[in-house]
Copies of this chain bind each other. A is one copy, B any other.
Amino acid sequence: MSEPDPTAYRHSVAFVLSQVGAHSAALFADRLKPLGVSPREFAVLSHIASGQPRTQQQLSELLGVHRNNMVSLIDQMETRGWVSRHRGEQDRRSFEIRPTPAGTHILARVNELIPDLDADLTAGLSKRDSRALADLLQAVAANLGLTPAVHPSVSVDRH
């Protein structure tokens, strides 16, 4: 009767994916920090910049942040002058969250960082392999039913 290998997990897709994903999220948060933006704030800006306006409720669903906690997140972004609240015209209970020019500007600056981050993550791979990795990950994401929302938490601190 053979003992099971207690370190078998190290070769599993689940483990490496979790590990590399957490590292990637941490790297992203690190790059954002000098701009004074949290991953979650970036997520909010991305969603309201990409076209249709969003209510707090919609944003909380898209980001996987509880709507109770979305309040203080939007409060903070409003204080920093990145977004503004506008009473919904059809539904006067809700707030539309809209980006300010400053919010649009900081979003553009964050987006500029991403190609560099991607290059660092795939530094050990050939161009062909980098592309293959991106395609395979997209396929896995699609298979898992993951939408391009940032939910669940992209923000993972190190240490």
Residue of B nearest to A124 (CB): B143
Among B9, B118, B132, B141, which residue has its beta carbon within 8 angstroms of that of A114?
B9
Interface centre among A16, A64, A152 (most CB of B within 10 A): A16
Copies in the complex: 2
Chain A contact residues: helix, strand, loop or mixed: helix
Among B13, B114, B123, B150, which residue has its beta carbon within 8 angstroms of that of A122?
B13
10 A-B pairs with least C-beta separation:
A21-B21, A124-B143, A6-B49, A18-B25, A10-B148, A17-B24, A16-B137, A133-B136, A13-B118, A152-B158
Chain A contacts to B: CB under 8 angstroms: 4-28, 42, 45-46, 49-50, 64, 66, 104, 107-108, 111-112, 114-115, 117-118, 121-125, 129-130, 132-134, 136-144, 146, 148, 150-154, 156-159
